[in-house]
Amino acid sequence: MTADTLEKEDTLHQMSLAVWDIPTPAAGEWFSIKVGAKSSAGCALGARRIEVLDGDAVMATGYLGDAPWPGTDALFWVAVELQAPDQPGLITLAVRFNTAELDEPHEGATAPFKVSVIAKPEHMLTVKVVADGVPVEDAIVRLGSTRAITDASGTAAVKLAKGHYELVVWKAGYDAPATPLMIDADAVVQIDARAVAEPDPDAVWTA
């Protein structure tokens, strides 16, 4: 190894990459992530190319914007669109920045990240929440990570993939049991909630 080579290695700048705002896409769905790159030398990275890799294959590309991410002085970023695979599961991808195009010498940079791909929602579940026959508005309806809020008619609709779920309904002042469901077609379900008396805040002083 020559002295020139040693000197060049000593002067290599570092490149750091970041990936954030990673959603949970459905199988086959297009989604967006944010990718940022920062040079330890504070180099301007606007218009430089970022690649998203699945193994050695390039899934998507983007070009960093001219302005750094708000609140930073050198994290240049871009929103990159890519398509989830057709099968659900946890996948590992990576982002890569080609430093060969930079004026200053930098080490190459690659950063892995994970995406949780869920099954594609195919069925519509309509949930009707009532208490003593009266619709319950603004009740939270939850099935796993999917949520919705009932409207003035006490109804909420959610789109779900086939599978087993636990339907949970919540609103202050009401009680409703969790309901197990098997979703394999469009369905309608009614939840009979029970109004419960709220504690009297003055009771502790009158007891």
What pTM value is reported for the model? 0.67
Give the CATH number for residue 43. Answer: 2.60.40.150
Q: Is there a contact between 127 and 35 (Cβ–Cβ < 8 Å)?
A: no
14 and 94 inside one domain:
yes
Residues of the chain with pLDDT under 70: 1-10, 198-207
Give the CATH number for residue 136. Answer: 2.60.40.1120
Q: Give residue 45's domain range.
A: 3-117
Q: Does residue 206 belong to any structural domain of this protein?
A: no
∠ CA 188-191-197 to the nearest 5 degrees? 160
In three-state form (DSSP H/G/I as H, E/B as E, the rest C), the secondary structure along the chain is: CCHHHHHHHHCCECEEEEEECCCCCECCCEEEEEEEEEECCCCCCCCCEEEEEECCEEEEEEECCCCECCCCCCCEEEEEEEECCCCCEEEEEEEEECHHHCCCCECCEEEEEEEEEECCCCEEEEEEEEECCEECCCCEEEECCEEEECCCCCEEEEEECCEEEEEEEECCCEECCCEEEEECCCEEEEEECEECCCCCCCHHHHC
79 and 8 inside one domain:
yes
Counting the structural domains of the chain, the total is 2
99 and 127 inside one domain:
no
Q: Does residue 200 belong to any structural domain of this protein?
A: no
145 and 82 inside one domain:
no
Last residue of a domain, one of 117, 146, 175: 117
pLDDT attached to residue 8: 47
Q: How far is CA 84 from CA 28, 32, 146, in A?
A: 5, 10, 19
Q: Is there a contact between 34 and 21 (Cβ–Cβ < 8 Å)?
A: yes
Last residue of a domain, one of 102, 117, 132: 117
Q: Is there a contact between 36 and 75 (Cβ–Cβ < 8 Å)?
A: yes
pLDDT attached to residue 63: 96
pLDDT attached to residue 102: 81
Q: Does residue 69 belong to any structural domain of this protein?
A: yes
pLDDT attached to residue 28: 93
Q: What is the largest CA-CA distance in the chain?
A: 89
40 and 113 inside one domain:
yes
Q: Is there a contact between 99 and 117 (Cβ–Cβ < 8 Å)?
A: no
pLDDT attached to residue 174: 96
105 and 128 inside one domain:
no
pLDDT attached to residue 11: 74
pLDDT attached to residue 7: 45
18 and 41 inside one domain:
yes
Q: Is there a contact between 18 and 36 (Cβ–Cβ < 8 Å)?
A: yes
Q: Does residue 70 belong to any structural domain of this protein?
A: yes
